[in-house]
A = this chain, B = another copy of it.
Amino acid sequence: MYDTLRDRICLLDYPPGTRLSEVELAAEFGTSRTPLRRVLARLEDEGLLTSRHGVGTIVTDLDMEEMARTYALREELADLVGRLDPVPPGAKDLADLDTFLSRGEALRRAPEARTFARLNMDFFAFGLRFTANAPLRDVSERLYYRTARIWLHRVPELDLSEEIAIFLSEMTESARALRAGDTRAAALIRRAHISMCRQRLLTGDGGLCPPALRASPQDT
């Protein structure tokens, strides 16, 4: 239930500003408002929702300044994943890596924003396997989902195929590092990509500029 709602928010099924009805959601999940409200409260703590008495529970909109700071922090945390309590990849991890690469390849052939977002989320969770530091994992995940929406939000202004290509390249490089057992290198690769992602997504106007003026194909 928590995961479902979080995904819906992060995949923009509920765009920022959407008003969620507690009774409707409770009915949908076949439960009463009470357990649902606990979930909503948690999502509120995580900064994805805000409820106001007498008004409704509303999906928060993306504060670009806050996003920039969150990205800066995520970048450092990605680094720490490689430095704090590293866990070398096991056989299952390497196998899963192949699955990720083939999912990425399929995505390249049939680009689709939502599928991309899902793959990105899964690959993020994958990357957290390589630290045994549970608090670090928790914090990283929390901050990831806080920023996850921004990508889908800006995708109309971006070149989807190029974004996918960049992501594929990140996965390929990560795979190389992990196959060599170098989790530190994998973390640095991720850090680099978070940094670049911040550059692409947050620089300039904060998304208010019309798509036509941004990221024309020949820029690359």
How would residues 41 to 56 of chain A score, 1 for a CB under 8 Å from any chain B CB and 0 otherwise?
Answer: 1100100000000000
CB interface residues, A 134-155, toward B, < 8 Å: 134-136, 139, 142-143, 146
Q: SS class of chain A's interface: helix, strand, loop or mixed?
A: helix
How far is A146 from B135 in the complex, measured between Cα atoms in Å? 10
Chain B interface: which of A21-29, A68-76, A169-177, A197-205? A68-76
- Which B residues touch A37, using CB under 8 A? 38
Give the interface centre of A38, A73, A85 by most chain B CB atoms within 10 Å.
Answer: A73
A195 contacts partner chain B, Cβ-Cβ < 8 Å? no
A84 contacts partner chain B, Cβ-Cβ < 8 Å? yes
- Do residues A73 and B84 form an inter-chain contact, with CB atoms below 8 A? yes
A18 contacts partner chain B, Cβ-Cβ < 8 Å? no
- Do residues A133 and B85 form an inter-chain contact, with CB atoms below 8 A? no
How would residues 71 to 112 of chain A score, 1 for a CB under 8 Å from any chain B CB and 0 otherwise?
Answer: 011001000100011000000000000000000000000000
- Which B residues touch A146, using CB under 8 A? 135
A66 contacts partner chain B, Cβ-Cβ < 8 Å? yes
- Do residues B38 and A133 form an inter-chain contact, with CB atoms below 8 A? no
What is the total number of copies of this protein in its complex? Answer: 2
Chain B residue with Cβ nearest A83: B76
A173 to chain B, nearest CB (A): 24
How far is A84 from B41 in the complex, measured between Cα atoms in Å? 29
Which residue from B41, B73, B136 sits with its C-beta under 8 Å from A41? B41
Report 25 cross-chain contacts, Cβ distance below 8 Å, ordered by A residue: A37-B38, A41-B41, A41-B42, A45-B45, A66-B135, A69-B84, A69-B85, A69-B133, A69-B134, A69-B135, A69-B136, A70-B135, A72-B84, A73-B84, A73-B133, A73-B135, A73-B136, A73-B139, A76-B76, A76-B80, A135-B143, A135-B146, A139-B139, A139-B142, A139-B143
